Amino acid sequence: MSRPALPFILASLLLTAALLAVGLRVGSYETDYALIGRALLHYDARDPAQLVLIELRLPRLLLALLAGAGLALSGYVMQAMVNNPLADPYLLGTASGGALGASLTFLFLPGLTVFGLYAPPLAALVGALGVTLVVVVVGSRRGRVVPTLLLLAGVAMGSLVTAVGGLLTFLAATEEKLRTITFWSLGGFERANWATLPYPAAAVGLGLAALALLRPQLNLLLLGEERATALGLPVARTRWLLLLIASGLTGAVVALCGPIGFVGLVIPHLTRWLLGTVGGGNMLFCALLGGNFLVLCDLLARVLYPPAGLPVGLVTALFGVPFFVYLLRKQGA
């Protein structure tokens, strides 16, 4: 059963616009809508308030939007690929791998730069994709991804990498280093800037386009491997493609925002609950919903604990889990 997605998508877009409008007002500088209008239409970088709006608040909101979209999409794909509602974007150890990569640079690279580039995001990306690769190699047999094996390999590798990260945290004697590592284990958007926004934007754009093309295959996979094969789906190849898309999306997000939990688990559920399992607009709606959710969480984080905000991963869990539980109970009834 599926519902028409268009009204939901339009409502989400309206919500996005409303959240952006509110989000542009939240911060240390006093700003009003007249100023926001001026900054958007006739940007004057000499005015510090306008600079703050355009260079700091706007990229932060957009990064939250893209991160939410990326993680929600990635979770949607993962759940479909392994046909298990417990799957999330970090199933493949991406989150712990990213956190480990970043922590390593803080502990062993005093200057934090490699060839003039700021190293932590790069290391996070390398760590995320590296651990993913190991999990995929362990979780596949003769070129085929085996979902149960993949799930187990992901959980095991995740524990191992988390343990190594824990060891590094334990050995990091200074309080400041611990704080950085905390950031890399809970996530946040404070470092958002225009220079790095194109990467998650490209990842989400390409991911959405590819998934639009792969939608029939994705829905066939939901029928289970045997029936999908019987209906002529090249299951092995489809799974590899989906895996590639999901890892790319998660990696791009983790590298910039750290591993933000829970979005990738709860948003796909909410999407299917509202629109049905195989709806045509599911992917787009899922991305929008995820984006809105993270923008809202970031706003809450900043309002609750100004100025820097709580780590957004805490907020997603604190507000997301009760809602998720409510949803589960209601569904079960």
Partner 1 sequence: MPRLFAARLLGRSLPLLLLLAACRPDTPATIAPPEAAAAPQQLRDDLGRTLTVPAHPRRIMALAASMTEMLYAVADTATIVARTQVCDYPAAALRKPVINSYPLDLERLVALKPDVVFTTTGITSEADAQRLQELGIPVYYQQYDKVEDIFRGLTDLGRILGRVPQARHLVDSLRAELRAVESLPKPSPASTVLAITWTDPIYVYGQNTLFTDKIRLAGGQNAVLEKFTQPYPALTREYILQLNPDIVLGGSFGKLDSTFFRLYPELKRIQAYQTRRIYDPTDDLMSRPGPRVVESVKELRGLIWSPPAP
Interface with partner 1 (CB under 8 A): 27-29, 48, 51-52, 55-57, 111-113, 118, 120, 170, 173, 175-176, 179-180, 183, 188, 190-191, 193, 307-309
Minimum distance, C-beta of residue 46 to partner 1, in the bound complex (Å) = 9
Minimum distance, C-beta of residue 192 to partner 1, in the bound complex (Å) = 10
Question: 193 or 277, CB closer to partner 1?
Answer: 193
Minimum distance, C-beta of residue 108 to partner 1, in the bound complex (Å) = 15
Question: 154 or 188, CB closer to partner 1?
Answer: 188
Q: How far apart are CA 95 and CA 77, in angstroms?
A: 16
291, 15 in Cβ contact below 8 A? no
Q: 262: which residues sit within 8 A by CB, 6+ positions away?
A: 313, 316, 317, 320, 321, 324
Distances (CA, A) of 58 to 53, 64, 156: 6, 10, 39
Question: 130 or 188, CB closer to partner 1?
Answer: 188
Question: 56 or 222, CB closer to partner 1?
Answer: 56
β-strand partners of 276: 2
φ, ψ (nearest 5 deg) of residue 118: -70, 120
First CA to last CA across the chain, in angstroms? 18
Q: How far apart are CA 333 and CA 327, in angstroms?
A: 10
Question: 51 or 321, CB closer to partner 1?
Answer: 51
Question: 118 or 323, CB closer to partner 1?
Answer: 118
Helix spans in the chain (H):
6-23, 33-41, 48-51, 58-81, 94-108, 119-138, 147-171, 175-186, 198-221, 225-230, 235-257, 263-275, 282-304, 312-332
Minimum distance, C-beta of residue 226 to partner 1, in the bound complex (Å) = 50
Minimum distance, C-beta of residue 27 to partner 1, in the bound complex (Å) = 5
Minimum distance, C-beta of residue 190 to partner 1, in the bound complex (Å) = 6
